[in-house]
Amino acid sequence: MSLVIKFTPDTFTNSPKTNHELSHIARTLRTDVVKSLYLAKSGHSGGSLDLSEIMTVLYFNGFLKYNSKNWKDKSRDRFVLSAGHLAPILYSTLARAGFFEVEELGTLRKLGTRLQGHPGLDTNLPGIETSAGSLGQGISIAIGMAMSHKYLDKTSQKVICITGDGELEEGTVWEAAMASSNFKLSNLCWIVDNNDCQIDGRVSEVMNIYPLREKFEAFGFDVIEIDGHNFDDIKMALSKYEANLKNTDKPTCIIAKTYMGKGVSFMENKYEWHGNPPNKDQTIQALNELEL
């Protein structure tokens, strides 16, 4: 069977939506991830797919404030993908939010592309707040942003950062956690993509990071545990963060239980899909399963 990859041209607004509408967007993002990784012949499928619902709510339900046509507007909220290897889901989200043309998703990881395997500031790709990929660094950059908004600009914009759970094995992450409450960064929302998978095994077996709630609480966070594929859970947790931002001095940590590869049956909950692209047959099957 021949396989011709085309990207649908749709872009989506950033305003409150029904769960049915959000689900359509999440499926579009997943389809983009599968297509762009197939064309790239390399990249990280599993974690990119499992962040689809969270990215959908962040960018397409009126939560993050941004202007994709004037994206450096100083009053924008900040989003940092500390798990930089999950760039495909970030690129798809930004394209569907109108930061750049959807067609460009077909250039992922090609020579000279703005869509590098890990986000790079040097590419000048609209919507990229920081380079990322060296695990554990992005969360500290996000903390710098939160400190600068709170203490220099004295503004209340949001700073959202997603780390992986394997990423929590980096020691620098816990220095970042300590700094978050020390500096009373209630404007910081740290989302942990808790799929219990990492590059070569289950996180609980490679280096046990649990119990997570207790650890983050000990570091002074308000911790919210959710199903990271449930739109109502995600919306509820983000609302609690908004309340924390206004009413407390506490940073927020959302531990999102997710399943690596979610949405594509043969990838689901399999750490082997951490860093592989689908081949032709797998792409056909995945696209059939995700059919919009």
Ligand X SMILES: Cc1ncc(C[n+]2csc(CCOP(=O)(O)OP(=O)(O)O)c2C)c(N)n1
Interactions with ligand X, residue window 115-134 (CB under 6 A): 133-134
Answer whether 71's CB lies under 8 Å from 152's CB.
no
CA distance 45 to 30: 9
State which of residues 198, 244, 282, 283 lies at the interface with ligand X (CB under 6 A): 198
Helices H / strands E in the chain, number of each: 10, 7
Is residue 167 close enough to count as binding ligand X by CB under 6 A? yes
Closest-approach residue to ligand X (CB): 164
Which residues have a Cβ under 8 Å from the Cβ of 272 and sit 6 or more positions away? Answer: none
Answer whether 136's CB lies under 8 Å from 170's CB.
yes
Q: Which is nearer to ligand X, 260 or 264 (CB)?
A: 260
What's the closest the beta carbon of residue 50 comes to ligand X, in angstroms? 7
Residue with token string 């592309």: 113
CA distance 278 to 292: 19
State which of residues 129, 165, 222, 233 lies at the interface with ligand X (CB under 6 A): 165
Is residue 263 close enough to count as binding ligand X by CB under 6 A? no
Interactions with ligand X, residue window 35-54 (CB under 6 A): 44, 46-47
Is residue 226 close enough to count as binding ligand X by CB under 6 A? no
Is residue 204 close enough to count as binding ligand X by CB under 6 A? no
CA distance 172 to 163: 12
* Sites of contact with ligand X (CB under 6 A): 44, 46-47, 83, 85-86, 133-136, 164-167, 193, 195, 197-199, 203, 260, 274
